[in-house]
Amino acid sequence: MTFSRRLLPLGASLTRGRFTSYQIRNGYTRGFSTETSLAKLAEKCAVAVPECSNGEDEIAKIRHEFELAKQRFLNIPEALNTMPKMNPQGIYVNKNLRLDNIQVYGFDYDYTLAHYSSDLQTLIYDLAKQHMVNEFRYPESCMKFKYDPTFPIRGLYYDKQKGFLMKLDFFGSIEPDGCYFGRRKLSREELENMYGTRHIGRDQARGLVGLMDFFCFSEACLIADMVQYFVDAKLEFDASNIYNDVNRAIQHVHRSGLVHRGVLADPNRYLLKNGQLLRFLRSLKDKGKKLFLLTNSPYHFVDGGMRYLMEDSFGLKDSWRDLFDVVIAKANKPEFYTSEHPFRCYDSERDTLAFTKVDAFHPNKVYYHGCLKSFLQITKWHGPEVIYFGDHLFSDLRGPSKAGWRTAAIIHELEREIKIQNEDSYRFEQAKFHIIQELLGRFHATASNNQRSEACQSLLDELNKARQKARDTMKQMFNRSFGATFVTDTGQESAFSYHIHQYADVYTSKPENFLFYRPEAWLHVPYDIKIMPHHVKVPSNLFKT
């Protein structure tokens, strides 16, 4: 468990076309063309409107359509039932992947093979907080801080110069209602005063650090709480010092083994058992695939966790290590992919490292450290035939992606967010947001700032208020502070989504979701993606009845 931070690459984007849902199984959409179906739906619901003679007529028309829409907003339209539902256990594709070409499967451990309860974030938070008070001499009153699971999401950025914790969109702009100084949300006026514009330029990006892995929840919360303490106490502080101290404390509780000992002392509290994991790994072995484990965690922690996770499925003589051809612990990713560190054979009984050179991997041995260069020389496994599963987009997946391996991002929160997106209540608010956005666009294209009457301004205020209400309602369904992980309140993909596009060939919530696909399946990119493959946009036409 080590950390790698990366600044947001700016000025980059992806080619983006129209969207169609990904073909998935088990009662969810399969080959469903969202574009075609919604076009037919819009045809049935469309209202013929005469041409406008002038700007005043157009404003009156917008007012009329808005009043009609408000009446229709009173009920969820039945047409929502025809919308496709995405599979929470689906595999979503950024780059085409043929599974029959994959011969080697590699896995990270934490939050990939092993999933944890939210209690782990509380444990990390409390241990790091104690370290800051006891070792860094932070005020004793900080010991009263409590981890708040409702505050952070993954993929936030921290401005080390200004002390702001923020959510960015795909293009590097700050989420208008997603920037916090401590626990206080900044207003849009404050954002403009601080940055001049919501878009983060290259110079400003140098001061940002990304919080991307699943352990960053406790880190983001502790940073915000420490900033809030200094603000409330009216004490001067350097925002970069707070980040450095929190990050050092988080690193310490991992490297010292405090977290590992806490988890193994009470695995029932922290580890989530999953019977499908063993079935998935065994199915790969039965198909003749090679498996390896590559993790930054120490072996004793991995061994204790895997024993607990599979104790209900294994016999007395079975061992989880029999599933893997190679086991590598304390790999020190991401340096593993670029360094030339040698492998060391690890004696788990004596807790010692051998001094002999490692020039072959044996199934009954455990290895420490090492590097990608030596790994490829020993295994002779070629890049395109290897897929690596990991949860950290930088430490786990960036190196393999550049080395030619295929990559699978394991994003645990994906399952919950897709379930929310499938709910009629969410899609109802999304459609309301889209129709109001459309009316606002037409309003601004018609009404000049210098010629707006009182009636025009009243309409503009009502539209803005209704749009904000729909936006806030959707946001609260995911996270009260920052909204959804993958999209912003305005419907843009988040910066976190950008990194998924960049480093993950496919992404899903758990490795065992691959059980739902044939071993020779061709996982292909939908031909008309507009946003993330798992996301469906509800059109405003649903309300034009």
pLDDT tens across 292-344, in order? 999 999 999 999 999 999 887 776 556 899 999 999 999 999 999 999 999 99
Domain boundary among 492, 507, 537: 492
pLDDT the model gives residue 531: 65
- Report whether 108 belongs to an annotated binding site: yes
**Overall average pLDDT of the 392-421 stretch:** 92
Confidence at residue 526, expressed as pLDDT on a 0 to 100 scale:
80
Question: How far apart are alpha carbons 350 and 366 in whole angstroms?
Answer: 13
DSSP string covering 162-198: T-EEEEEBTTSBEEEEEEEETTEEPPHHHHHHHHSSS
Quick one: how far is CA 505 from the chain centroid? Answer: 14
Per-residue pLDDT reduced to its tens digit, 162-195:
999 999 998 889 998 999 999 999 999 999 888 8
Tell me, yes or no, whether 300 and 439 share the same domain: no
- To the nearest whole percent, how much of the chain has pLDDT over 90? 62
pLDDT above 60 for 275: yes
Q: Report the predicted TM-score, pTM, of the whole model to 2 decimal places.
A: 0.84
The yes-or-no verdict on residue 18 having pLDDT over 90 is no
Provide the pLDDT for residue 134. 96
The tally of domains found in the chain comes to 3
Q: What is the pLDDT of residue 213?
A: 79
Round the average pLDDT of the chain to a whole number and report it.
85
Question: What's the per-residue H, E or C state across 275-340?
Answer: HHHHHHHHHHHHCCCEEEEECCCCHHHHHHHHHHHHCCCCCCCCCHHHHCCEEEECCCCCHHHCCC
Hey, which residues does 110 pair with through a beta bridge? 114
What's 283's domain CATH number? 3.40.50.1000
Say what the pLDDT of residue 381 is: 92
**262, part of any domain:** yes
Average pLDDT of 261-269?
Answer: 96
- Shared domain for 123 and 108, answered yes or no, is no
Give, in degrees to the nearest 5, the angle at Cα 406 between 321 and 415: 80
pLDDT at 227: 97
Taking 60 as the threshold, does the pLDDT of residue 12 lie above it? no
Q: Quick one: 130 and 251 in the same domain?
A: yes
Greatest Cα pair distance in the chain? 87
d(Cα 18, Cα 457) in Å, to the nearest integer?
34
- Rounded CA Rg of the chain: 26
Highest mean pLDDT among 33-42, 56-65, 202-211, 461-470: 461-470
In a domain, 23, yes or no: no
What Cα–Cα distance (Å) separates residue 266 from each residue in 95, 123, 300, 323, 365?
A: 40, 12, 15, 25, 27
SS3 for 67-103 is HHHHHHCCCCCHHHHHCCCCCCCCCEECCCEEHHHCC
SS3 368: strand
> How many other CB atoms sit within 10 Å of the CB of residue 454?
7
Mean pLDDT over 276-296 rounds to: 94
pLDDT of 508 strictly over 90? yes
Q: Do 302 and 352 fall within a single domain?
A: yes
The secondary structure of residue 139, as a DSSP letter, is -
Tell me the mean pLDDT in the region 501-507: 93
Query: Annotation-wise, does 391 bind a ligand?
Result: yes
Residue 289 lies in a domain: yes
Judgement on whether residues 361 and 418 belong to the same structural domain of the protein: no
- Please indicate, yes or no, whether residues 456 and 374 belong to a single structural domain of this protein: no
The CA-atom distances, in angstroms, between 123 and each of 128, 263, 269, 508 are: 9, 9, 11, 26
Q: DSSP states of 245-283 as a string?
A: HHHHHHHHHHHTSHHHHHHHHSHHHHB---HHHHHHHHH
Residue 51: DSSP 8-state: P
Q: What is the pLDDT of residue 190?
A: 92
Q: Is the pLDDT of residue 28 over 60?
A: no
Rounded Cα distance, 281 and 284, in Å = 5
Confidence of residue 84 (pLDDT cuts 50, 70, 90): confident
Q: Select from 214, 248, 267 the last residue of a domain.
A: 267
Q: Which residue has the higher pLDDT, 223 or 18?
A: 223
Q: Is the pLDDT of residue 137 over 90?
A: yes
Shortest CA distance to 348 belongs to which of 311, 316, 302, 389?
302
Does residue 370 sit in the same domain as residue 296? Answer: yes
| Interstrand relation of 506-508 and 406-410 (parallel, antiparallel or unpaired) | parallel
Q: How far apart are alpha carbons 335 and 460 in whole angstroms?
A: 54
529, part of any domain = no
Judge if 203 and 129 occupy the same domain.
Answer: yes
Catalytic residues: 108, 110
158 assigned to some structural domain: yes
- Residue 149's contacts (CB-CB under 8 Å, 6 or more residues apart) are 118, 121, 122, 217
In terms of domains, do 308 and 237 share one?
Answer: no
Note the pLDDT tens digit of each residue in 446-494.
Answer: 877 666 678 888 999 999 999 999 999 999 999 999 999 999 988 889 9
Residue 514 lies in a domain: no
Specify if 373 maps to a domain: yes
Domain-terminating residue out of 230, 251, 267: 267
Domain housing 462 = 57-89+414-492
Instruction: Please tell me the distance from the alpha carbon of residue 271 to that of residue 255, in angstroms, as a whole number.
Output: 19
- 83 and 129 belong to one structural domain: no
Phi/psi region, residue 41 (left: phi>0; alpha: psi -120 to 50; beta: rest), is: alpha
| 249 vs 542, higher pLDDT | 249
- What is the distance between the alpha carbons of residues 262 and 127, in angstroms, rounded to a whole number? 10
Does 375 lie in the same domain as 304? yes
- Look at residue 369 and tell me if it is in a domain: yes
Whether 280 and 240 map to the same domain: the answer is no
The 3-state secondary structure of 382-429 reads CHHHEEEEECCHHHHHHHHHHHCCEEEEECCCHHHHHHHHHCHHHHHH
Q: Which residue's structure tokens are 């450290």?
A: 369
pLDDT band at 23 (very low <50, low <70, confident <90, very high): very low
Task: Work out the average pLDDT over 365-392.
Answer: 94
Distance separating alpha carbons of residues 309 and 275, to the nearest angstrom = 8
Q: What is the mean pLDDT of residues 15-39?
A: 36
Taking the C-alpha atoms of residue 521 and residue 539, their distance in angstroms, rounded to an integer, is 32
